[in-house]
Structure 1
């Protein structure tokens, strides 16, 4: 692998992860406060917009999605380079059990940035509410549970974090790029949306696999985690797997069947 990918930029080297860990250990429960405020904004926002015309917000949405796309692309590149280096030098098991991800010069900033980003990402829903689009359970449930689990996990630097963050960065890089193009008015082929949803399903299946391996190896001091994290993470990923698979079926397969029936 190209060694330049593992070279740290100045802001990455200077980032003090110890301060970040201390802050999250003291303040991770604030994720519950953010989640509560998020739910309140959804309820109040939908009530406020009930008798009002939907807002266009096309340009702000383009900028919002583009900023998250760029952030996710850089995050995927930096965390992905670390994971590839770990795999090539130490093997697959080390990529699962590695906890140096949280403090390594290349990835420590992006691990913290990923965790923090789950709070501003709640803003996705604001656009849905103000544009009076359909808000499905999967959307807000996913936002809340990811925020809670990510903040809870980061403070303990549990094994598997490198996989979780790199996969999420990669899927979000594609997803927010897709949202940016859609908001800009570009017509994209239907398979683009199907591929993104399929990748999300694959991400959830891989998340369950990683947690199963962490459980299998967690007795090893080099695969540090705890049962609370493993159980809560497994339930979260399992619920995502079911919900995203159901969404894929209802959004793409069921509609195609309906069209075939009408054609007959």
Structure 2
């Protein structure tokens, strides 16, 4: 029996029926046609960083507490809703069709639920560039991993969206999951709400785990590429391996610098 027929029958369950809003007009043709505009957006983003930092150099930082609370809260709600929806969908595909279906075959990318959350997810990567504006306007340290991650994720998401890369489903699902926790934390921090001290470490750990799993899914996709119906490209494998690798190194370095090195300094001082 054909793989796509198996897939369509396997997903005819009430668990993953699309909502009315998920059946809205598909923006895929438009976003696929203009996917290269993501390079222009990133270029403008990087230029605005330079301009913004120069502008704020001789000025006092803004508080922006209320706008930051609202910004982080909205992104947290979006990420939580996307996480619940996509984890439910991907989990159903995983347990009914197997792991190979989720990282190798493009059939599920044509589902209404995936179509909707894919283009919304892609646009959210543009919106999230606004995180940097708050850092600059509040005169907070802007570290390399922040703007590198924001800019390259947008490019990688646009590339994966255009090529309908199957393993991109896991990239989107994991990213939404991590951002659910991250933006909830940002909301609490901006609102000065007490939160567990270990929460920032948990978030960075989840980011590192995402890079490890993303690399594994990419490797599996490449291993299974010879099978009939399995879809991948050498370009995608190369760039996903490069990006996941650099993300892993950068987040691991940040983890060491933020959570391990200060502790060692404190211990040496006490001795």
Q: Which of 172, 183, 194 is equivalent to 1:187?
A: 194
Partner of 1:205: 212
Alpha-carbon distance, 1:227 to partner: 0.4
Give, in whole Å, the separation in 2 of the partners of 1:100 and 1:187.
45
Q: Which of 147, 155, 174 is equivalent to 2:162?
A: 155
Superposed CA RMSD: 1.4
5+ unaligned residues in a row in structure 2: which ranges? 1-12
Partner of 1:220: 227
Shift of the 154–221 alpha-carbon distance from structure 1 to 2, 3 Å rule, reads: farther
1:124 aligns with 2:131: yes
Q: Is the 8 A contact 1:78 1:107 kept in 2?
A: no
Alpha-carbon distance, 1:204 to partner: 0.3
Alpha-carbon distance, 1:195 to partner: 0.5
1:64 aligns with 2:104: no
Give 3-state SS (helix, strand or coil) of 1:261's partner.
helix
Alpha-carbon distance, 1:92 to partner: 1.5
Give 3-state SS (helix, strand or coil) of 1:107's partner.
helix
Give, in whole Å, the separation in 2 of the partners of 1:225 and 1:161.
11
Deviations 1:201-245 (A, max 9, x none): 000000110110111112234321110011011100000000000
Q: Which of 105, 117, 130 is equivalent to 1:110?
A: 117
Give, in whole Å, the separation in 2 of the partners of 1:93 and 1:224.
11
Q: Is the 8 A contact 1:204 1:238 kept in 2?
A: yes
Give, in whole Å, the separation in 2 of the partners of 1:225 and 1:66.
36
Partner of 2:24: 14
Give, in whole Å, the separation in 1 of the partners of 2:191 and 2:105.
40
Shift of the 5–133 alpha-carbon distance from structure 1 to 2, 3 Å rule, reads: farther
Give, in whole Å, the separation in 2 of the partners of 1:5 and 1:195.
30
Alpha-carbon distance, 1:99 to partner: 2.1
Give, in whole Å, the separation in 2 of the partners of 1:74 and 1:38.
27
Shift of the 15–101 alpha-carbon distance from structure 1 to 2, 3 Å rule, reads: farther
Give, in whole Å, the separation in 1 of the partners of 2:181 and 2:108.
23
Partner of 1:74: 81
5+ unaligned residues in a row in structure 1: which ranges? none
Q: Is the 8 A contact 2:125 2:150 kept in 1?
A: yes
TM-score (norm 1): 0.95
1:239 aligns with 2:261: no
Partner of 2:107: 100
Q: Is the 8 A contact 1:5 1:78 kept in 2?
A: no
TM-score (norm 2): 0.92
Give, in whole Å, the separation in 2 of the partners of 1:263 and 1:187.
28
Alpha-carbon distance, 1:263 to partner: 1.2
Q: Is the 8 A contact 1:159 1:223 kept in 2?
A: no
Q: How does 1:80-95 map to 2 (within 5 A)?
A: 80-95=87-102
Partner of 2:9: none
